[in-house]
């Protein structure tokens, strides 16, 4: 049984939005005032992840000049429909007091690595946008609504409006679908369709110690939505010593075998009781299961996020590679893999020894070295160049048997 070790995306990788396309899993995370905007991560097994691309890589897509600290890209969301990737994002250009000057866009691409289209303006009513593709072909935009008026709740509920790809804009009436639960601070809507229900997964409680993920459902995409009677699905509230704090803002993904997982925000706080998290908001993943009455629960039976999670069954033999790269292979599908067991030894020397001893390492073959330290595997695309470890990458061995080309 393969184990996932949380967090899967460590250090400043918040607001994860996950999708699966074929055998490929992708996660988009927030980048705030850092350019290029949005970071897309890639995996084939939910265990090993790599940074793939930053899609908002030109000024016509994202201009961050003059933005305040912690402005810029908030909570991007991914979706995929009929061969097209959709990426929604918020650009926060001002956030003084109760006022937020923010604008929301969608970009599209037929390849995950782009090129991405010029941005289409959506609205400026709030943030945390999600584009849902319904079974009848219609598309619906969900977002939280920000209300700056005096004596009003700033988090004014989740609203929805139809999006027209032909007109490249929102059309029709705006409808509030939920004001959230008693946890408050309802945001981060993600919508899924399963077995006749539309499921609305929202973040609640704020992004601090009270963070949580709550599920609602309806028979119609426009509601009315009923709240999970045993909400929230996920939270670390009430457990200040738990290693994964501030858990919430979830996004669901279904595997090829019908298993479900939730990626979510978390933070690891210092053990001194200060509550500080120097690594910021990170991304973890939990296995979830559907109950007989159609609600979602963590597979552990708890609301607390787990440090270790059972990985899904392998869906395919190949390991992720960039378009145009030579393919990598797992053992059992070409057997082009070398392992280095390095507990108590020199990592470099052991990598050299494993590569030299393996008949699988030969010119023209893309080799994946997987490092095992004290019996615990780490994320492991390791470059062997003449026996020297240069970075967490991989390469194709040249005919001299020592040098290789970076992939």
Residue entry with tokens 């993920």: 213
Residue entry with tokens 């016509």: 60
The 3-state DSSP class for residue 355 equals helix
- 73 close to 91: Cβ distance less than 8 angstroms: yes
15 is catalytic: yes
> How far apart, in Å, are the Cα atoms of 385 and each of 11, 43, 85, 136, 363?
28, 24, 36, 52, 12
How buried is residue 111: exposed, middle or buried, by Cβ count under 10 Å (0-12/13-18/19+)? exposed
Which position among 128, 187, 350, 381 bears the catalytic label?
Answer: 187
How buried is residue 165: exposed, middle or buried, by Cβ count under 10 Å (0-12/13-18/19+)? middle
CB burial string 23-59: b at 16+ within 10 A, e below: bebbbbbbbbeebbbbbbbbbbbbbbbeebbbbbeee
313 is catalytic: no
CA distance 343 to 281: 31
Which position among 15, 204, 228, 381 bears the catalytic label?
Answer: 15
Known catalytic residues? Answer: 15, 187
């Amino acid at each position: 049984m393969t184990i996932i070790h949380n967090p899967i995306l460590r250090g400043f990788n918040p607001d994860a939005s996950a999708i699966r396309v074929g055998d490929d899993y992708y996660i988009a995370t927030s980048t705030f005032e850092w350019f290029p905007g949005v970071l897309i991560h890639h995996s084939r097994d939910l265990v090993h992840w790599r940074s793939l691309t930053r899609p908002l890589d030109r000024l016509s897509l994202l201009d961050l000049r003059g933005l305040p600290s912690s402005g810029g890209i908030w909570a991007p969301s991914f979706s995929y429909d009929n061969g097209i990737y959709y990426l929604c994002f918020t650009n926060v250009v001002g956030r003084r007091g109760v006022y937020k000057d923010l604008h929301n866009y969608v970009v599209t691409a037929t390849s995950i690595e782009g090129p991405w289209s010029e941005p289409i303006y959506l609205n400026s009513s709030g943030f945390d946008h999600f584009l849902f593709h319904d079974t009848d072909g219609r598309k619906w935009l969900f977002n939280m609504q920000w209300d700056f008026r005096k004596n009003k709740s700033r988090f004014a509920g989740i609203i929805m409006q139809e999006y027209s790809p032909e007109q490249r804009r929102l059309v029709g009436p705006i409808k509030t679908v939920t004001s959230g639960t008693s946890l408050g601070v309802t945001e981060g809507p993600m919508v899924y369709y399963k077995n006749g229900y539309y499921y609305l997964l929202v973040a609640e409680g704020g992004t601090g110690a009270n963070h949580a993920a709550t599920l609602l459902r309806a028979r119609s995409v426009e509601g009315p939505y009923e709240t999970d009677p045993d909400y929230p699905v996920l939270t670390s509230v009430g457990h200040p010593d738990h290693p994964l704090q501030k858990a919430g803002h979830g996004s669901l993904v279904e595997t090829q075998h019908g298993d479900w997982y939730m990626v979510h925000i978390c933070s690891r706080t210092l053990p001194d009781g200060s509550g500080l998290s120097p690594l910021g908001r990170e991304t973890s993943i939990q296995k979830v299961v559907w109950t007989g009455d159609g609600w979602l629960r963590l597979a552990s039976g708890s609301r607390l996020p787990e440090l270790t999670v059972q990985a899904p069954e392998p869906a395919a033999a190949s390991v992720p590679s960039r378009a145009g790269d030579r393919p990598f292979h797992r053992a059992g599908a070409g057997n082009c893999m070398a392992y280095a067991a390095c507990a108590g030894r020199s990592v470099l020397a052991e990598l050299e020894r494993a590569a030299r001893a393996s008949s699988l390492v030969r010119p023209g073959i893309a080799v994946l070295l997987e490092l095992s330290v004290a019996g615990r595997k780490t994320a492991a695309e390791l470059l062997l160049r003449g026996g020297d470890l240069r970075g967490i990458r991989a390469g194709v061995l040249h005919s001299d048997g020592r040098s290789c080309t970076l992939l």
